[in-house]
Amino acid sequence: MTEKRISIGNIDPIDFYGVNNTKFNLLRDYFPKLKITARGDEIIIRGEEKDQELLYGKITALIEHYHRYNMLTVANLKRIILEDNTVEAPEDPESVILFGNGGKAIRARTANQRKLVELARTNDLLFATGPAGSGKTYTAIALAVRALRNREVKRIILSRPAVEAGENLGFLPGDLKEKVDPYLQPLYDALSDMIPPKKLEDYLENEIIQIAPLAYMRGRTLNDAFVILDEAQNTTRNQLKMFLTRMGVSAKFVVTGDMSQIDLPHHSDSGLKQAFKILRKIKGIAFVEFDGTDIIRHRLVKDIVHAYEKEQKDTPPAKPGPEK
């Protein structure tokens, strides 16, 4: 076991570690494999060299943040610790999509998130695929909210296919909203980061923001709207075709999904898979493929995704059974 030391310099330890060491203890929680102690202005790290280097880099980033903004909140600490090493420096104004609740900067934090933002300027239909936690849907919703604020569109429409394990909407209790809300909650969560609660409530009540299952898109023409279809890997070919042909005048569509989480009985039925094959050469349609380097959730999420990807690659495809 090796030891590494880093000084926080002239920063007040209470400001950096938190009252009753709240921030310092949080730091420990994120790095359970390391023994981390503080002696005045010095932090001592003991453990495996690879883990030490990672924490050393994070503490350096925390110190730099404090000197730049003269503060370090718990939220700041969590964001910096959970950021991927490829994340762009937070002071870069080009990475900001919009400012959310409390002035929080909603940023394109990885290369593929920035690519999605850039391609949205010149394409009216975008496909964004990748693993859980890569920020594809969150970034798309941020773009939609920005477009609404800038009056580039008159409404936002968010949708998901209601595909689930062993349940059917018709058997769930409550009215339509109560039935579908569990499936659409991730979309509400993203919106809640970007729009004040009262304003979001007004937008939903006045249908400036609409959140609905994919089935309720049929027969509509969506003009002057920013439309996002999430979890599109679970659309059938006909469903995705139906959705794409809803595009009206002055509309922008973003389709997101994760090819590794198809819940349809047969993966080949996925409309998203078909779209990737047949729509790539059409001008005005862009594709962004997120990967593990874009994951910005808890540090374990990236390892979990990689483990599943490796298992999938290492497992030979099942042989078809005898015909009945």
Question: Does the pLDDT value for residue 93 go beyond 70?
Answer: no
Q: pLDDT by residue (tens digit) across 287-317?
A: 999 987 787 666 676 678 778 877 776 666 5
Q: Compute the chain's Rg from CA coordinates.
A: 23
pLDDT band at 268 (very low <50, low <70, confident <90, very high): confident
Q: pLDDT by residue (tens digit) across 47-64?
A: 988 888 888 888 998 999
Q: pLDDT by residue (tens digit) across 10-59?
A: 899 999 999 888 889 888 888 888 899 998 899 999 998 888 888 888 89
Q: Which amino acid is at 138?
A: Y
Return the pLDDT at 184: 74
Query: What's the longest Cα–Cα distance across the chain?
Result: 76
- The pTM of this model reads 0.64
Distance CA 168, CA 231 (A): 17
Spatial contact of 300 and 137, defined as CB atoms under 8 Å apart: no
Q: Minimal CA–CA distance to 28: which of 17, 41, 39?
A: 17
Question: Does the pLDDT value for residue 169 go beyond 70?
Answer: no
Q: What is the mean pLDDT of residues 72-101?
A: 68
Q: Which amino acid is at 2?
A: T
Contacts of 47 (CB under 8 A, 6+ apart): 1, 2, 31, 33, 34, 35
pLDDT band at 177 (very low <50, low <70, confident <90, very high): low
Q: Compute the Cα dihedral for 300, 305, 310, 311 and give only its sign.
A: positive
Q: pLDDT by residue (tens digit) across 184-219?
A: 778 888 899 899 999 999 999 999 999 888 888 888
Return the pLDDT at 298: 67
Return the pLDDT at 246: 93
Q: What is the mean pLDDT of residues 248-266?
A: 89
Coil, strand or helix at 190: helix
Spatial contact of 254 and 228, defined as CB atoms under 8 Å apart: yes
Q: Give me 181's structure tokens.
A: 């809300």
pLDDT band at 85 (very low <50, low <70, confident <90, very high): very low
For residue 255, the cross-strand partners are: 127, 229
